Structure formats: C-alpha cells, structure tokens
Amino acid sequence: MKLAILFMLASVLTASPLAADDCPPPLRIEQSPEQVTVLQGDAPVLTYQRAPKSQDGKYERAGYVHPLFDLDGNELTEDFPADHLHHRGIFWAWHQLSVGDVRTGDPWVCKDFLTEVRNVEIVECCPQRVAFRAAADWTSPLWTDEAGVKKPIVRELTTIRVHSPVNDSRAIDFEIALTAAEPNVRIGGSEDVKGYGGFSPRIRLPEGLTFLTDWGIAQPQNTSVDPSPWLSMTAAFGSNVKLSSVTILSHPSVPGYPQRWILRQKRSMQNPVFPGREAVTLPTDCPLVFRYRMILHRGEASADQIREWQSAFASQ
C-alpha cells in the first residue's frame, strides 16, 4: 500500500514539473571593495562598480552597473565599447556640470570627473527581492579646496532593487537622488539639438532591433523622439534566434515626465532625456530624484502588457 502511494506521488510530480520561474533560487548579494554583485542562486544578475575603473588610465569611471544579464544568462550591457569608450553599462551622466560660472569637467565623457562611491549598504534582503543603496560624491580636479583636495559637487544616493523573475520577466528598480553640495550647481545635457543626458543604458544592439513606445513603433532619428512614459526594445539578444526584450519604465515623479527619448539602432545608448541642452540648478535642500524600472523579459511584450507594468510602477 505504501509503495503504491509513493508511486502515485512520484507520478504526479513527474507529470507536473514546476516552471523555472515558479520557484527560482533565492536572491543574494556579494560585496567586495571593487564591486557589489546580485546573484540568483549562483547565477549573476548584475554588478555595480563601486571602485574606479579605467582603460590605460583614461575614461575613469565608477558608480554604474555592468554587467547586466538577461533571464537566460546573456550579457546585455557593454563597458568601454570601441565606438564610445566613455559609455559604461547602465549609467546616469550629463555633459554639463558647473558650480556658478566654473565648468567642472564633463561627466558624460569621463573628463575631469569621477563619481566617488563612499559607502554601500544593503537595505533589503529576502529570497524574492534584494536592494542596496550607494552613497557617492561627484568630484572634479577642477573644484578643490585651498589645499588642492577635491570637494564634493553633488551628493548622490542611488538605490538599486532587484526582483526575482515572475512569468518570464524580471524587474530592476533604479532610484537616483541628486543633491547639490554647493550653491548654484547646474547640470545639463549635450549643448546641441540632441540635448541627451540622464539615465542611459548602453545595451548590446543586435540586428533587427525594434523600438516600441506608448504611441507606437518608434524609429531612431538624430534628435529625440516624442515623449513616452516607457520604451521597449526587442531583438535576439542571446546567441540563439529567440526574441527577448528590455523595457524601461519611467515613474510619473521623474522631472519632465513623460520624457523625450534619444534612440539609437547601433553603437550607442538609449536615453530618456532630462533636462536637455538648457542646464537646470540642483537644489541643496532636497534631492532631484529619478526613478526608472527596467524589465527584462523573454519574448516580445504587447503594448497592453507594458501599460499594465507601467500602471503598477506608477502606483508605487
């Protein structure tokens, strides 16, 4: 009798296996002086670069995400790409940074500028969701005290939250809070008709890449395209021919919502633009906050599905 029951249980379990997303391994965080890595079981999800990196002493950078992996372990981001050596994974940067009338480097191209990560704190840790918060200072050799020591220009507090996959999709939240450390600090995008600057994912761009926005299919152009609360990129990002997508949602609280988008088909990044070519002053008493959610998903999500994701994100 016992053998019969065991046989029946085994048959049920064998006939109804759990889907991969039904019970994923727990999320966890590993830290070192150089990096913070989020893993799902033993598989890496993303790495935050806390220590400075450079290429032969040039294009020094820190405080960004690379690599980022999709649900099938394909590396999505690029660092030091040959066409734009200053691009770096998932980053947020502007061409214009000034204190009063003093231009203090060019954060976008990593010239006379460095994000110095002071501290990383784990703020949430459970099997289905983890988060860490990085405190950093924006510094430049062009802004120092009387002894020649670099002074903070902007205080940055960034929280990155990673969720376990559900229904073939994973959400990753970015909250970037910027507060001026000096009076009259201004940031701005490229000083041309493009005006790009802000949150900028440098994703590998395979052939056949398509862009979907809330108003329909978008075609990249030299300048930014019309505003949309979200953008979805679909292509065969992995080594096989299966389609997958990277979707970026903007929270309604982001300045300039809904933002215009710089889109690029090859050899570049994608960017929800703020503030454009005209610089804005950062407050010293309360942060300017940018909140975005990236959703990595297998296959091509419909506009209706993405609108549901956007609605859920907007309600938080």
Over the chain (316 residues), what is each successive 10-residue block's mean pLDDT?
Answer: 39 36 87 98 98 97 98 97 98 98 98 98 96 98 98 98 97 98 98 98 96 98 98 91 95 98 97 98 98 97 97 97
State the amino acid at position 29 in one-letter form. I
> In what side-by-side order are the strands of the sheet with 169-180?
114-126, 129-139, 154-163, 169-180, 288-298, 244-250, 230-235, 210-213, 216-218
* The pLDDT of residue 1: 41
Question: Does the global pTM surpass 0.75?
Answer: yes
Domain enclosing residue 180, as ranges: 22-204+262-293
Q: Is 34 helix (H, G, I), strand (E, B) or coil?
A: coil
The verdict on residue 169 lying in a domain is yes
The verdict on residue 108 lying in a domain is yes
Q: Give the count of domains, the chain.
A: 1
The verdict on residue 315 lying in a domain is no
| Closest residue by Cα to residue 122 from 133, 110, 111, 135 | 133
The verdict on residue 306 lying in a domain is no
The verdict on residue 244 lying in a domain is no
The verdict on residue 31 lying in a domain is yes
The verdict on residue 71 lying in a domain is yes
Is the alpha carbon torsion for 77, 164, 302, 73 positive or negative? Answer: positive
Scored b (16 or more CB within 10 A) or e, 248-258 reads bbbbeebebeb
Helix (H) or strand (E) holding 55: strand 53-55
Half-sphere exposure of 139 (CA within 13 A, CB side): 20
The verdict on residue 35 lying in a domain is yes
State the amino acid at position 259 in one-letter form. Q
